[in-house]
Amino acid sequence: MQTVQVQAPSHSYDIVIGKNILNDFNLFAPHIGKKAAIVTNTTVAQWYLQPLVKLLQNNGIDAFSIILPDGEQHKNHESLNHIYDSLLANHADRKTTLIALGGGVIGDTVGYAAATYQRGVPLIQIPTTLLSQVDSSVGGKTAINHPRGKNMIGAFYQPKLVLADLNTLATLPEREFSAGMAEVIKYALLGDVAFLAWLEQHIAAIMQKDHTLLAQMIAHCCQMKADIVAQDETEQGIRAHLNLGHTFGHAIEAQMGYGNWLHGEAVAAGMVMAAELSQQLGYIGSDEIERVKNIIRAAHLPDTPPKFSEEEWLAHMRHDKKVDEGKMRFITLKNLGAAQIETLPDVNVLKNVLSKFTA
Amino acid sequence: MQTVQVQAPSHSYDIVIGKNILNDFNLFAPHIGKKAAIVTNTTVAQWYLQPLVKLLQNNGIDAFSIILPDGEQHKNHESLNHIYDSLLANHADRKTTLIALGGGVIGDTVGYAAATYQRGVPLIQIPTTLLSQVDSSVGGKTAINHPRGKNMIGAFYQPKLVLADLNTLATLPEREFSAGMAEVIKYALLGDVAFLAWLEQHIAAIMQKDHTLLAQMIAHCCQMKADIVAQDETEQGIRAHLNLGHTFGHAIEAQMGYGNWLHGEAVAAGMVMAAELSQQLGYIGSDEIERVKNIIRAAHLPDTPPKFSEEEWLAHMRHDKKVDEGKMRFITLKNLGAAQIETLPDVNVLKNVLSKFTA
């Protein structure tokens, strides 16, 4: 079992990572009220809901469950209202604990419900995907989508506790496990070349879901994100490094239609493009590009994007919020493990990179 | 012009109180972005919207307005969505300032929209009623109603600036001005007997809206609330004193049907009942009761509640959230200017008070 302590503005909390921790009521006990609502989706419910309800009820908690439909398209106002209605119907008060049991969509939606129900109730996050374990457990971002834009309605709200049980990764489709690995590789590339070497050494065993290595890896990513967020709560500076590969990745997702490429897959190819851009700018060489591609391939992720026209690439990148006011800002790699924010001096630098990925 | 500085958890901000301050762009300048959305209701819009839009536009701000229907029944999800939709249609981003121009309903609804649009945008509150100037400017409570309960969905969110322009009280109906005075009297009774004496001395001129006295009075109330909130952000202790008269008041509002008695009117009669309860408990005598009634009458407020049956009284008070788990908790007056939280030893103490107001 590994524990990462996160310093949030309002309080500090623990991320506990390990096997079978969802069976351990002692982990919940200091953070849970007399009444608790477990919110999950139809997919996750079939594996992990009933044991958790029983664990809590056997320990005297008045626990009830709220089950949402599965999928990003349900990260919306209807799901939110469904949660509010169920909380009110079950007489949930300000001390009722909300437990988010699921991946990023559940974490974001339930986190936002917890932030806003009666102006905020206690929240426990139980991320069940690799992506949500390494990424969304830290930073307190919660949100739902609006028909006009993703994550348009939200709040910063910190949980009391995060429990990342490695058992839940057993039921995760391989493709989604790989997509989570894209974010793990991102942490290595943006800020820790020693962690990159560690990943290269252990990637085969990690892909086989060696529990000891997984726990170390997830804890390391959470610690890195916690350090970055602590330095930059308001997203003005270093926190932008977490967007490595995301400007290109968002263009891939948008052009392919959301859901056809998983977010992590698009970020993986986007990181290769960011590496190519860094080479264009003279920061890294072809050996480093190969190293990036190799670790991405080893995680069963795409090391090249689909081919679009230059116009298509540029159109999507101009819509990206990181390309503000005509200045093209990118996260580039000064070296492997050393990301930086950069405003491109000249759009031709970008066009040279895009020409490699143009139909 | 009077200024009260409020220390909020995230930052400190100023409440500026005075005449014609809505014409002074210098007050806005340090706190407003390039783009601003002024949100108001149909009633307030006819007096104060166009001058404010022009002031901002003349100073280079890209200002646009969002007009909601007037009334507590519109403090709901439809109004919130109307704000979100307008912000998105006008390409509002994270730096766009929301300006809440109106009374408590506008302040609560727009404050909640500001708390949640893109996880929080800058907020300026311009309260235009006495009640919102003395009460809702401080404390950061924002919320909308849910069909199952008032203020069920909300957030704590602090403004960058509060501007209380005394001119706006000129268009306020007398009955609403008096309702605001109930909360002013509440501050005196719960914590400051010298302020009670000051009110008694000046009440006639205040009811004539003497601007110098009004500015002093509003600033004093804001400072008192700021001090109380700073001592007790999480509403566990002293902040409950702000509920003086409210348990009885809520029962009056509920039994009469919401909107038939204004909140401030119900609180005024509720404070008399809280004073009677305090007398029953031996804290104060009939001279103090008379003093409470006199200041309430001088503010053109009811010094006695409607008559209900004992059952009606008790039923509504049991629903009140301050009467939790069968323990009847009230805010009583140890003396004038000295409120305390009290769990009644015996329901008969309460019934003795109710018997005076029973049909």
| A29-76: pLDDT as tens digits | 999 999 999 999 999 999 999 999 999 999 999 999 999 999 999 999
Q: What residues of chain A lie within 8 A of the CB of B117, using their CB?
A: 152-153
B197-357 maps to which CATH number?
1.20.1090.10
- Whether residue A182 is predicted with pLDDT greater than 60 in this model: the reply is yes
| Interface test mutation site (partner B, options A93, A108, A119, max chain B beta carbons within 10 A) | A119
Contacts of A81 in chain B (CB under 8 A): 77
Say what the pLDDT of residue A232 is.
76
| Predicted pLDDT at A91 | 94
Give chain A's radius of gyration (CA, Å).
20
Mean pLDDT within A250-270: 92
CA distance A285 to A283: 7
d(CA A149, CA B95): 17
Answer yes or no: are the C-beta atoms of B280 and B353 closer than 8 Å. yes
Round to whole Å and give the CA distance between A54 and A59. Answer: 8
> Is A85 in Cβ contact with B152 (below 8 Å)?
no
Mean pLDDT in residue range A251-276: 93
Q: What is the mean pLDDT of residues A236-244?
A: 88
Of the listed ranges A103-117, A248-262, B123-137, the one predicted with least confidence: A248-262
Which strands, in side-by-side order, build the sheet including B62-68? B2-7, B12-18, B161-165, B123-127, B97-102, B35-41, B62-68
Spot the catalytic one: B263, B291, B316, B329: B263
pLDDT tens per residue, range B248-297: 999 999 999 877 999 999 999 999 999 999 999 999 999 999 999 999 99
Cβ contacts of B321 on chain A, cutoff 8 Å: 93
Residue among A285, A276, A289, A286 at smallest CA distance from A332: A276
- pLDDT at residue B24, as a whole number: 97
Neighbours of B34 (CB within 10 A): 12
CB crowding B271-282: b at 16 or more within 10 Å, else e:
bbbbbbbbbbbe
- What would the pLDDT profile of A148-174 be if each residue is shown by its tens digit? 888 999 999 999 999 999 999 999 999
Which pLDDT band holds residue B219 (cuts at 50, 70, 90)? very high
Q: Is A211 a catalytic residue?
A: no
Select from A88, A117, A154 the Cβ nearest to the Cβ of B119. A154
Helix (H, G, I), strand (E, B) or coil at A25: helix
Q: Which fold has domain A174-357?
A: Dehydroquinate synthase-like, alpha domain (1.20.1090)
pLDDT of residue B233: 66
Confidence check: pLDDT of B323 > 50? no
Q: What percent of chain A has pLDDT over 90?
A: 84
B116 labeled binding residue: no
Residue A73 marked as a ligand binder = yes
Query: Residue A100's beta-bridge partner residues?
Result: A39, A125
Question: Residue B324 — pLDDT band, cuts 50, 70, 90?
Answer: very low
Rounded distance between C-alpha atoms, residue A193 and residue B355, angstroms: 78
Q: Quick one: tokens of A153?
A: 């309605």
Contact between B173 and B162 (Cβ < 8 Å): no
Q: Where are the domains of chain A?
A: 2-170, 174-357
At residue A258 the predicted structure's pLDDT band, cuts being 50, 70 and 90, is confident
Q: Residue B321: pLDDT above 70?
A: no
Contact A339, A332 (CB under 8 A): yes
> Is the pLDDT confidence value at B322 over 60?
no
Q: What is the pLDDT at residue A235?
A: 65
pLDDT of residue B255: 92
| Dist CA B246 CA B80 (whole Å) | 27
Q: Across residues A132-136, what is the average pLDDT?
A: 92
pLDDT, mean of residues A101-109? 97
What sign has the CA pseudo-torsion A85, A90, A93, A95? Answer: negative
Mean pLDDT (whole number) for B86-94: 95
Write out the H or E segment, with its range, that includes residue A16. strand A12-18
pLDDT at position B316 is 87
Q: Is the pLDDT of residue B118 over 90?
A: yes
Which position among A82, A186, A246, A291 bears the catalytic label? A246
- Name which CATH class applies to A2-170: alpha beta
| Cα atoms found within 13 Å of the Cα of residue B213, Cβ hemisphere only | 15
Interval B3-55: pLDDT, tens: 999 988 778 999 999 999 999 999 999 999 999 999 999 999 999 999 999 99
Considering the four listed CATH numbers 3.30.70.260, 3.40.50.410, 3.20.20.150, 3.40.50.1970, the one that applies to the domain covering B2-171 is 3.40.50.1970
pLDDT band at A323 (very low <50, low <70, confident <90, very high): very low
Average pLDDT of the residues in A141-151: 92
For B157, the closest chain A residue by CA position comes to A119
pLDDT grade for A321, boundaries at 50, 70 and 90: low
- Contact call for A152 and B115, based on CB within 8 A: no
> So what's the pLDDT on residue B110?
98
Q: Which of A153, A157, A239, A325 to mutate to test the interface with B (most CBs of B within 10 A)?
A: A153
Q: Which of A41, A145, A220, A243 is catalytic?
A: A243
A vs B: CB pairs below 8 A: 64
Reported as a pLDDT band with limits 50, 70 and 90, residue B326 is low
Residue A99 amino acid letter: I
CB within 8 Å: A116 and B116: yes
pLDDT at A3: 96
Tell if the CB–CB gap between B155 and A120 is shorter than 8 Å: yes
Task: List the structure tokens of B9.
Answer: 């958890």
Q: Pseudo-torsion of CA A228, A231, A233, A237, nearest 10°?
A: -80
Per-residue pLDDT for B68 more than 90?
yes
Segment A101-106 mean pLDDT? 96
